[in-house]
């Protein structure tokens, strides 16, 4: 995706990573890594594929922005992120993309990890 699209691509990339800041920590880490990998993978694609790539990520950024705003306006409700993937779009995916989607779904639907928080303000005993 070189050429005239360069600044637009970088701006979209930064915007998506900024939007990911509203996601829960596990989803943010997963999303950031996925975005980095996808943008890197599509650096040298043809103009038609680059156009489709940018359109889809623009839609993603718009949906994520809307969901983040909705979650902010309804703080008492559980935060909700994601959208339905219609079968027509799924049929357009290549086998490699289906595999990536399967891996992403497995990672995103893992049970919540339990975090261990320690109190770092307690003085440590020295020997």
Q: 123 lies in a domain?
A: no
DSSP state of 122: S
Residue 15: what pLDDT? Answer: 97
Residue 96: what pLDDT? Answer: 87
DSSP state of 92: T
Instruction: Tell me the pTM.
Output: 0.71
Q: 115 lies in a domain?
A: no
Q: What is the pLDDT along the chain (127 residues), one digit of tens a residue?
A: 445 557 889 999 999 999 999 998 988 998 999 999 999 998 888 889 889 999 999 999 999 999 999 988 888 888 888 888 888 888 888 898 888 888 888 877 777 655 444 444 545 555 4
Residue 14: what pLDDT? Answer: 97
Q: 96 lies in a domain?
A: yes
Q: What is the number of structural domains in the chain?
A: 1
Boundaries of domain holding 89: 3-108
Task: Please list the alpha-helical segments (H only) found in the chain.
Answer: 6-19, 25-41, 47-73, 87-91, 95-108
Q: 118 lies in a domain?
A: no
Q: 127 lies in a domain?
A: no
Q: 114 lies in a domain?
A: no
Burial of 71 (0-12, 13-18, 19+ CB in 10 A): middle
């Amino acid at each position: 995706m070189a050429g005239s699209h360069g600044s637009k691509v970088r701006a979209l990339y930064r915007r998506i990573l900024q939007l990911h800041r509203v996601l829960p920590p596990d989803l943010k880490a997963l999303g950031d890594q996925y975005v980095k990998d996808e943008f890197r993978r599509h650096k040298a694609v043809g103009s038609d594929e680059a156009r489709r790539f940018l359109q889809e990520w623009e839609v993603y950024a718009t949906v994520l922005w809307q969901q983040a705003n909705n979650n902010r306006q309804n703080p008492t409700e559980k935060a909700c992120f994601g959208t339905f993937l219609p079968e027509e779009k799924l049929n357009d995916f290549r086998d490699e993309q289906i595999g990536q989607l399967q891996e992403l779904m497995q990672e995103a639907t893992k049970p919540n990890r339990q975090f261990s928080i320690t109190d770092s303000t307690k003085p440590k005993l020295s020997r």
